[in-house]
Amino acid sequence: MKKALVTGAGGFIGTHLVRKLKKEGYWVRGVDLKYPKFSISDADDFLILDLREEENCRKALSLSEGKFDEVYQLAADMGGLGFIHSAETDILHNNVLINVHMTHTAAEMGIPRYFFSSSVCVYRDMMPGEPELKEEEAIPAHPNNEYGWEKLYAERVALAYARASGMKVRIARFQNCYGPEGEWEGGREKAPAAICRKIAEAEPEGVIEVWGDGTAVRSYTYIDDMVEGIFMLMHSDLEGPVNIGSPEYVSVNELVQVVSEVAGKKVRVKHVEGPVGVHSRNFSNEKIYSIGWRAKFSLRDGISLTYPWVESQVKKKKAS
């Protein structure tokens, strides 16, 4: 039986990845600062550890017998745009410590395969209509925020340890990911969950507030597609960073439209000042396509599965 460690297993993608690895027949240890918020982890073993400490990375990676076959490093201090812009020093401090200690310790302990969850935030700002950027075009670098700079640095740390130790490193640059069991309130939620929450809370024909003018273009990847991409990439021969994301690009206004149609609730949008991030995104998926991955969920399909979950959270909170 293969053994996998998932760090950040109390978070959104980690919870779903543990579930996937269990379905694939793995023995799984999850590690996080906290247990999953919305369900009980499927992990065989779950340790509460602060991975900013090197000694805790060693504990996470140690087994009483043998060693992990695969390590998936998803732990990060992160959130949506509001968080990314207000917590720059936390992001730089905490995530550098987690990634430097995790990569160093995994290489030192002879872990054969190591996955690092990077982000398309490593790329520069783009304008609508610009041609696709390929992975190597992240350099020369000009990320729009400190989260992107830290991810770029952590990618380089992982690649340097791969060269030095022979550890097989796989790096995914995720586009925005959404789905049930993601943060939906409190400041760390991303745009799809935030829009679902606002529409679930709004009266029919009511008004919801949206940051910026609603023209920013993004692609949103449903959680099941993302987890499948992580698993396929980890078991592939693809070296270097690999973009994973849906090819369906929409503006924030179009995202609101899709959510409102799925909810069956008409709302009016009031554009207010707030962090909007980059103007546009457009990335090549040729590398991940070369191993057979494709996004199976359209935005409408994914929102149809996410909106009812967010709505149920809103109702639960209202009733409590």
Shortest Å distance, C-beta 270 to ligand NAD: 25
Shortest Å distance, C-beta 116 to ligand NAD: 8
Structure tokens that stand for 104 in this block: 């160093």
Q: Which sign, positive or negative, has the C-alpha torsion 72, 181, 87, 152?
A: positive
How remote is the C-alpha of 286 from its chain's centroid? 20
Shortest Å distance, C-beta 56 to ligand NAD: 7
Shortest Å distance, C-beta 98 to ligand NAD: 5
Does 153 participate in catalysis according to the annotation?
Answer: no
Which residues lie near ligand NAD (CB under 6 A)?
8, 10-14, 32-34, 50-52, 74-78, 94, 98, 117, 119, 174, 176-177, 190
Q: Give the closest residue to 168 by CA, choosing from 116, 243, 229, 100.
A: 116
DSSP-derived letter for residue 145 is S
* Pairing mode of beta strands 27-32, 45-48: parallel
- Whether the Cβ atoms of residue 218 and residue 249 lie closer than 8 Å to each other: yes
* Pairing mode of beta strands 268-272, 45-48: unpaired
Q: How far apart are CA 61 and CA 157, in angstroms?
A: 18
Is 36 or 267 the residue whose CB approaches ligand NAD more closely?
Answer: 36
Task: Show the beta-strand stretches assigned E in 38-107.
Answer: 45-48, 70-73
Is 219 or 265 the residue whose CB approaches ligand NAD more closely?
Answer: 219
Is 93 or 271 the residue whose CB approaches ligand NAD more closely?
Answer: 93
Helices (H), 12-62: 12-23, 54-61
Shortest Å distance, C-beta 13 to ligand NAD: 4
C-alpha radius of gyration, the chain, whole number: 19
Is 268 or 296 the residue whose CB approaches ligand NAD more closely?
Answer: 296
Is 51 or 208 the residue whose CB approaches ligand NAD more closely?
Answer: 51
Structure tokens that stand for 193 in this block: 């969950």
204 preceded by a cis bond (ω within 30 of 0): no
Residue nearest to ligand NAD (CB): 11
Return the H-helix or E-strand segment holding 221: strand 217-222
The active-site residue out of 26, 72, 123, 147 is 147
Which residues does the annotation mark as catalytic?
147
